[in-house]
């Protein structure tokens, strides 16, 4: 037997279903000189508070080594959880949280993986958007559940699709329906935000049908304009008549402080958190106490919301630069539309039907511009078809000048590709 076949024959069904992260593969080309990347969704490293972190790191290794260099509990550093509870009270008006409502994970990605492990199998049903965050799609897809996919609209996913699906379900099917996954603010990849009205509607649906809501909110703090909308978690807290808050809120320090910390925070009902803790025990025993305490001491002495202000200013200028360039140059393409994000890092571009953004990528690379093809955010053939003419573009890494130049290159690429296809 060939080596590949031999290894494959030993794999579990879950490993056989696991594929490489397409974005990570695609972004390998971004280091080519002169390339402008609209692909990356990672923060600018110059925004990391490296001096403050270096000082804290030295101090906690020298003085707190009994904690930082030792194994810790699966639930996470109590000091970090305490600090995070204060942070949520101050900025999100989320009150009455105990340490038992909070779980620290190795990034939100681990939380998504745990959600997959704890709730999903081949018989399960869950609802997601089209397009959907790639990290969530990969964590859920390996469990092979049935997906209900809701098309994205300007104010969040089309809830009518979910309502209709629920109406047509038998009681037995409903009992296998586990959760709705949603990125409530400045969604990855669409940049769109779930309206207050839809947040309430989703919550009603969850209560009426005994569903859990996975609310993934890595970008809530990255708002450039408009009023803050309460999280679905918070809306549920405000409804007194129910016993259990069905929302699991996923937060992370990746987009407001540093992704290298791998610091995610899960907020939820104690009983749910307990189950996730059991899943995490098997995965990694505990998140690194060293980076947890580093984050805790950072939070104690600094206000991330204040620290992030210059970053927000920078990102919002870049967002403006991209939207202005799109207004100026993209209009030359008939039938193109794009989203205008009020925060976060992304806009979602929808091109005429004849364009396949995955197929076009090679030409784009020749023109020294990259983006993420829409199919990266699909879970099956049907959703791949819907997203194949779309792309995710990010404005966080290139400079304003590069954003304008990159837009010109993108428009040139689309025209060349279209003309070649038309023959």
Ligand X SMILES: *Cc1c(COP(=O)(O)O)cnc(C)c1O
Q: Interface with ligand X by CB under 6 A: which residues?
A: 107-109, 133, 135, 183, 188, 216, 218, 252, 254-255, 259, 264
Distances (CA, A) of 315 to 46, 311, 336: 12, 6, 24
Closer Cβ to ligand X, 261 or 330, answer by number: 261
Nearest to ligand X of 107, 131 (CB atom): 107
Burial class (CB in 10 A: 0-12, 13-18, 19+), 176: middle
Q: Which is nearer to ligand X, 266 or 370 (CB)?
A: 266
Distance from C-alpha of 124 to C-alpha of 127, rounded to nearest angstrom: 10
Beta carbon of residue 2, minimum distance to ligand X (angstroms, whole number): 35
CB 113 to ligand X: min, Å: 10
Smallest distance, Å, CB 183 to ligand X? Answer: 5
Report the residue number whose CB is nearest to ligand X.
107
Encoded tokens for 248:
């699991």
* Least distance in angstroms from the C-beta of 258 to ligand X: 10
CB of 259 to ligand X, least distance (A): 5
Closest CA to 155 of 213, 229, 247: 229
- Angle (deg, nearest 10), helices 134-141 and 107-119: 30
Nearby residues of 21 by Cβ (< 8 Å), 6 or more positions away: 134, 138
CB of 384 to ligand X, least distance (A): 19
The helix or strand, by DSSP H or E, that contains position 172, with its residue range, turns out to be helix 171-175
What is the rounded CA–CA span in Å between residue 195 and residue 184? 8
Closest to 53 measured CA to CA, from 221, 261, 252: 261
Residue number with CB closer to ligand X (117 or 255) = 255
C-alpha distances (whole Å) from 302 to each of 23, 72, 192, 219, 305 are 33, 24, 30, 19, 9
Q: Which is nearer to ligand X, 64 or 215 (CB)?
A: 215
Q: How far apart are CA 261 and CA 259, in angstroms?
A: 5
223: its two tokens:
């708002």
> C-beta of 192: minimal distance to ligand X in Å?
12
Q: How far is the CB of 18 from ligand X (least distance, A)?
A: 17
Nearer to ligand X, 64 or 216 (CB): 216
Measured from the CB atom, is 187 or 269 closer to ligand X? 187
Q: How far is the CB of 221 from ligand X (least distance, A)?
A: 12
Strands 372-373 and 390-394: antiparallel
Output 101 or 254, the one with its CB closest to ligand X: 254
In the beta sheet, which residues pair with residue 152? 157
Q: Please, which residue, 109 or 325, has the CB nearer to ligand X?
A: 109
The whole-angstrom separation of Cα 7 and Cα 126 is 31
* CA dihedral over 215, 226, 162, 211, signed as positive or negative: positive
């Amino acid at each position: 037997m060939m080596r590949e076949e031999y290894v494959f024959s030993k794999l579990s069904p879950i490993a056989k279903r696991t594929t490489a992260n397409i974005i990570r593969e695609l972004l390998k080309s971004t280091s080519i000189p002169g390339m402008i990347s609209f692909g990356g969704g990672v923060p600018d490293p110059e925004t990391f508070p490296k001096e403050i972190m270096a000082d804290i790191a030295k101090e906690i290794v020298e003085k707190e080594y009994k904690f930082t260099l030792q194994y810790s509990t699966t639930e996470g550093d109590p000091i970090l959880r305490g600090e995070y509870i204060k942070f949520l009270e101050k900025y999100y008006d989320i009150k009455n949280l105990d340490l038992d409502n909070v779980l620290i994970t190795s990034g939100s990605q681990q939380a998504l993986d745990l959600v997959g492990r704890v709730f999903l199998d081949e018989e399960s049903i869950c609802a997601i958007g089209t397009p959907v965050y790639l990290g969530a799609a990969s964590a859920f897809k390996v469990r092979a559940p049935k997906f209900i996919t809701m098309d994205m609209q300007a104010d969040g996913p089309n809830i009518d699709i979910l309502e209709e699906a629920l109406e047509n379900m038998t009681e037995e099917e409903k009992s296998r329906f586990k959760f709705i996954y949603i990125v409530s603010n400045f969604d990855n990849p669409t940049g769109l935000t779930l309206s207050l009205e839809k947040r309430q509607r989703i919550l009603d649906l969850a209560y009426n049908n005994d569903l859990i809501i996975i609310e993934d909110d890595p970008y809530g703090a990255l708002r450039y304009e408009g009023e803050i909308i309460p999280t679905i978690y918070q809306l549920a807290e405000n409804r007194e008549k129910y016993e259990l808050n069905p929302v699991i809120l996923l937060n992370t320090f990746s987009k407001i402080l540093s992704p290298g910390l791998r610091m995610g925070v899960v907020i939820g009902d104690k009983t749910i958190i307990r189950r996730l803790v059991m899943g995490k025990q098997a995965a990694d025993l505990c998140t690194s106490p060293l980076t947890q305490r580093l984050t805790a001491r950072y939070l104690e002495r600094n206000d991330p919301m204040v620290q992030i202000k210059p970053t927000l200013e920078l990102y919002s200028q870049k967002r403006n630069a991209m939207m202005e360039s799109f207004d100026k140059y993209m209009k030359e393409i008939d039938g193109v539309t794009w989203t205008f994000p009020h925060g976060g890092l992304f806009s979602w571009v929808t091109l005429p039907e004849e364009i396949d953004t995955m197929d076009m990528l090679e030409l784009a690379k020749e023109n020294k511009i990259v983006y993420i093809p829409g199919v990266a955010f699909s879970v099956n053939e049907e959703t791949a078809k819907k997203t194949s003419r779309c792309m995710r573009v990010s404005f966080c890494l290139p400079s304003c000048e590069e954003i304008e130049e990159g837009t010109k290159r993108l428009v040139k690429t689309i025209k060349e590709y279209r003309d070649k296809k038309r023959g």
